[in-house]
Every structure is written in C-alpha cells, then in structure tokens.
Amino acid sequence: MKFVDEVKIHLQAGDGGKGCVSFRREKYIPRGGPNGGDGGNGGDIVLLGSRAKSTLLDFHFRNTFKAEKGAAGGGRDRHGRNGAAKVIEVPLGTVVTDAATGETLLEVLDEEPHALLKGGRGGKGNARFKTSTHRVPMESEPGEPGSGLWVRLELKLMADVGLVGFPNAGKSTLIRAVSKARPKVADYPFTTLVPNLGVVRTAGFESFVVADIPGIIAGAHRGAGLGHRFLKHIERTAVLLLLVPAGEQDTENPVAQYRVLLEELRLFSPGLLDKPRAVALTKVDLVPPHEARALAAALRDAGAGDVFPISAVTGEGVPALLRHLAREVFARRATGTPTLLPREAPSAAGEA
C-alpha cells in the first residue's frame, strides 16, 4: 500500500435552502395569510479520526468534498430538510491547516467527530415576515452559502515509541522481532522508505505501539536523505529509542552516531530532546561480548543514559529493553500524557 502523508484538498459545506413565499388558499378561509416555510440548513464538514486508516492515500485520488445543500422551504409552513453532513474519515494524528495562511485549524487525536466547516443557514420563508401592519409579505430569504476552504492534511503518526537511527541500524529487524509488522529488511541502506507501526504485547497483556521511520543521516533536518518528511512522525511519540549498531566498529563510531542523531533531533525540533529516551546498541552478536560492553560503557560516558546492548536476530537483551520501554510508556500514560492506546491494526506499509 502506498504511503501518503501530505495532501491538499478542498472542503465545501452545504448551502442553506431558500425560504418559500406561499399563502393559504383554502375554501371558506378568507385572508389565509402567509405560510411559506424556512429553508433547511446546509450540511457541515465533519472530520472523524479512524484507527483503521494509516495513510492519506484516499485523498490522493479525490481532493474535493462537499456536504449536502439544505432543501428549500415549502408551503403550509413546511421546513426544508437539513442537508446531511459530510463525514470524512482521516487517520489519527492528522493535522489540518489552512492552505492559504498555514494556520492550524484542527488536530485529529481521537475518534470523536470534529465539525470543521459550518453549513449555511436556511433562508426564512415569508411566514416569518408577517406583522400586524405587514400582513401580506412577499419577501423571503435565500439560504446562506456554506463555508468553503482549501486545506492541507498532514499525517503525523501516533505511536508510543519512536525508533531513530542511521540507515541499517537495525530498526526494521527490531520491529519485526517484537511485533507482527513486516517491513523490508536488507543489507543496503534505506530499505525502509515509509514509516511502519508495530504493536508490542507485554507479559501483562498490555501493549504499546512502536514506529519505525526511515533512516536518519547528517543534515536530515534540512531534508537530506529522506529528511524531515519522516522526522515529523516521531513528534507525538512518548519515548524515543535511538539505535546505534555495534557491528565491527571501534568505540568511537557508536558515540559519534549517537551525537549526530541527537543534533539532528535538536535542529529539527528542540522539544524532541525533552522526551524520555534510551539507546539500543544493536547487532552485538557481531562483536565479542567484551567489545559490546566497552561500546555500551562509551555511550554511557557520552551521556546516553540507559543503554541496552541487543541483538534482534538472536534475541539477546531484547526482553530487558522492552520491559524498560513499557515502564516508560505506561508511566507517561499514568500521568495523563496523551499517547495512542493501541489495538491491532494495519501498519503504514503493511500488517502490524
């Protein structure tokens, strides 16, 4: 499935129906008077968050959405039918901005309906204009036009843990090992071209969502590599997990990668560094145990804090890492920090 995370669409709320000019003409009832009814209100534009959607692909093929117009009023004081609202389902985490001004109008973070544009009010019928001195009103009102707007939809995935690392740091291998997500894994850089979501089940039958984004390189905040197009997808995560590979490298390389990753996060959005984070020293199965311990110690000395030597291939160190991430995520939830309460759903690029 193609991953689309930015689109521009036009929204049009429904126009109000026009009021009616009508008079009673019934046998034996002289001077029946006006009885034109009001027009119906136009339908609203409503956005509804959906866990079943993980991409804006639907809007790539259709970019105009209109709500129903209100019906005109009728004689005998009949009110026109209100136009039906246009309900548009979007993935959770969608940000709606005015395409002309860039103003943020709405962030869809839950599955509740959000009225974005109001439909036009229906016009008054001539019965509304009758007074003691104006007994034969011939006027009525047209319906008010509904609001129309070009908007940009930008998807920022909602997940609990965001995986951040250079290409081939082992992010996709890790998410495959701990969830049902099946991102592509290969021995060349940039095998992950779209974000992937995986649901991790804990021993206590609770779960949290992990987001794997394409690899970061130096200059990513300026758009280098796959750049800021995907860095935005970790802005809503509760916890960051930085992955640096051990491989057959000396003790300086993981530390240098860690520092570059931190700097790219800071330059993209300083608030990312305020999130709880841990470091996974990956691919420790490729180095002797004493070297893995030395690399982990070097990272701690560089200020990395919690460092977990792991191998997603053999499973070494993975349970301890998951327990730590689960504690951090559930602690954030307990304090009311908004995170996505997960359930099994398709990932951004396949099954999760």
pLDDT of residue 214: 67
Give the span between the Cα atoms of 114 and 262, in whole angstroms. 36
Q: Which residues make beta-bridge pairs with 244?
A: 281
Comparing C-alpha atoms, which of 162, 183, 178, 172 is closest to residue 233?
A: 162
Where do we find the tokens 């001077």? 31
pLDDT of residue 205: 57
The tens place of each residue's pLDDT in the chain, 352 residues long, gives 456 778 999 999 999 999 999 998 887 777 788 999 999 999 999 999 998 887 888 898 899 999 999 999 999 999 999 999 999 999 888 999 999 999 999 999 889 999 999 999 999 999 999 998 999 999 999 999 999 999 999 988 778 898 988 888 888 889 888 887 665 444 434 444 456 777 888 776 578 888 887 656 555 444 444 445 567 777 878 899 999 999 655 445 889 889 989 998 888 888 888 899 999 999 999 999 999 999 999 999 999 989 999 999 999 999 999 999 999 998 887 876 544 433 333 333 333 3
Domains, in order of start, for the chain:
6-155 (2.70.210.12), 161-334 (3.40.50.300)
| Six token digits for residue 54 | 């993980």
Q: Which residues fall within 8 angstroms of residue 324, CB to CB, at 6 or more apart?
A: 278, 306, 308
pLDDT of residue 1: 46
Residue 196 and residue 172 in contact, taking contact as beta carbons nearer than 8 Å: yes
For residue 76, the one-letter residue type is R
Give the span between the Cα atoms of 201 and 188, in whole angstroms. 29
pLDDT of residue 267: 87
The model's pTM is 0.70
